Amino acid sequence: MFAWGWVRFIVASLLLAGWGLAEGLGSLLGSRRARSGRRPRWSHFVGFASLVVFYVLIGRRGGALWGGAGNQAGIAACLVAMGLRLLARALPLRHGAVWLRIAFFAALPLAVGTPQAWVGLTLPQALIAIDEMRRADGLAASGSRPFAPGSAYPR
């Protein structure tokens, strides 16, 4: 099934849409992403470029991993990250939602059979997330806004 490029594109797009929905619902449920001022311009460019690289890699290098079992494991990991994202505020993990975002972007290349995308997608997204955690910690240290319990996210 993952031998066809169009299937990989659809699966990746559906998983990314699901992640966006989980982020939105997670915010409504009280576990907001860190907003320590405006995101730096470089993060917008890097995030967009990493998605472009990811989709290029899907078309050229994607496929079934380990007879499809690797793809299924990646999809399952993405779905688990989405489900946990809804409950990130309840997790006893500092910066829980950001760590789940890193986990989602680490599982996504596996889901579409493109392990090379760990460099093209996961690494840049992890750098953006680490910067977000660093800026959120700086905001928390300054005491300018209260943060939700168990989260790096301001209320």
SS3 of the chain: CCCCHHHHHHHHHHHHHHHHHHHHHHHHCCCCCCCCCCCCHHHHHHHHHHHHHHHHHHHHHCCCCHHHHHHHHHHHHHHHHHHHHHCHHHCCCCCHHHHHHHHHHHHHHHHCCCCCHHHHHHHHHHHHHHHHHHHHHHHHHHCCCCECCCCCCEC
Domains in the chain: how many in total?
Answer: 1
Q: Whole-angstrom Cα distance, residue 54 to residue 124? A: 11
Q: Is residue 28 part of a domain?
A: yes
Q: Is residue 154 part of a domain?
A: no
Q: Is residue 93 part of a domain?
A: yes
Q: Is residue 134 part of a domain?
A: yes
Do the beta carbons of residue 110 and residue 70 sit within 8 Å? yes
More confident residue, 23 or 96: 23
Q: Is residue 127 part of a domain?
A: yes
Q: Is residue 26 part of a domain?
A: yes
Q: Whole-angstrom Cα distance, residue 153 to residue 34? A: 4
Q: Note the pLDDT tens digit of each residue in 69-116.
A: 999 999 999 999 999 888 877 676 777 788 888 999 999 999 998 888
Q: Is residue 148 part of a domain?
A: no
Q: Note the pLDDT tens digit of each residue in 118-140.
A: 999 999 999 998 888 888 777 65
pLDDT > 90? residue 147: no
Q: What is the pTM of this model?
A: 0.79
Q: Is residue 151 part of a domain?
A: no
Predicted local confidence at residue 139, as pLDDT: 65
More confident residue, 63 or 92: 63
- Section 17-42 average pLDDT: 75
150: confidence class by pLDDT, cuts 50, 70, 90:
very low
Report how far apart the first and last C-alpha atoms of the chain are (Å, whole number). 43
pLDDT > 70? residue 152: no
What integer best gives the mean pLDDT of the chain? 81
Domain housing 96: 5-35+44-140
